[in-house]
Amino acid sequence: MRPIRWLALTSLLALSIALLPRTAAAHATPTRAEPGMETVTPTAPTELKVWFSEELAPQGSMLTVVDSTGTRVDRGDTRVDLNDPDRKLLIVSLNPLPDGVYTVNWHSVSRDDGHEANGSFRFGVGANTVLPPAESAGVPRIAVANATVDGNTLHVRMDVQGVTIRRPPASGDHGDDADHGETAGHSHGAMEGPGPVYGHLHVYLDGEDVLHAYQPEFTLADLPSGTHQLRIALMNEQHGEWNPPVETTIAVVIP
């Protein structure tokens, strides 16, 4: 009877493991911050701390803080707090902040699966500072945060709000696609009900669709000398234009 009992026990154990709940892959998103998200602090902080829902990868996880004019006020030293045993805390140092409203742009990379996410929130400084009503989350915004030229290479970093940039789950062959975001195998399907809004960027150079970007940073190499018009448009997951259209245009001079 012992072999029979052992077989039964083994089968029961295998069944129990199969029935264990499985954790769905997700993105690392902020759970709390100091100063608090969408709050006002009477005294200027010297650093910003943001806790996330998942363990963070040190490479790629980033915090940037800008004032009401779009000028960066952080010191560019974002780091994962190694004293946090969960590795969920991201910190960046801040320059002296006058009273006013500041926007935090965050970009996270999950350590477990490499999934990326981005978003933004605000905080205020000063006892008399009042946060204006937040813009509707249903209307995404994109803007060029930084564009640098190195010889014939252009690197662009975008400020994206209200939408998470990622590779579409059923992405096809798009030739010049920027393979910097999630791969198709790591993407999630459409979510039912309220949830994250996803999209990606189409980059047009002098009217020609030259790149599909799946994260808010991209690079164009071997550009011809001269002045070029760069148009970046937000697209839905079916590569269709956002409705209403969301785009931005800049002029680029290549020496």
Which runs of E-coded beta strand occur in the chain? 30-34, 39-41, 47-52, 62-66, 79-80, 89-93, 100-109, 116-125, 141-150, 153-161, 164-165, 198-205, 208-213, 217-220, 226-235, 247-254
CATH, domain range 30-125 = 2.60.40.1220
Q: What is the pLDDT of residues 63-106, one digit of tens each?
A: 999 998 889 999 999 999 999 999 999 999 999 999 999 999 99
Domain boundaries 141-254, CATH class: mainly beta
With a threshold of 0.85, does the pTM exceed it?
no
Q: What is the pLDDT of residues 196-220, one digit of tens each?
A: 688 999 999 999 999 999 999 999 9
Q: Report domain extents, the chain.
A: 30-125, 141-254
Decide which of 60 and 136 is more confident.
Answer: 60
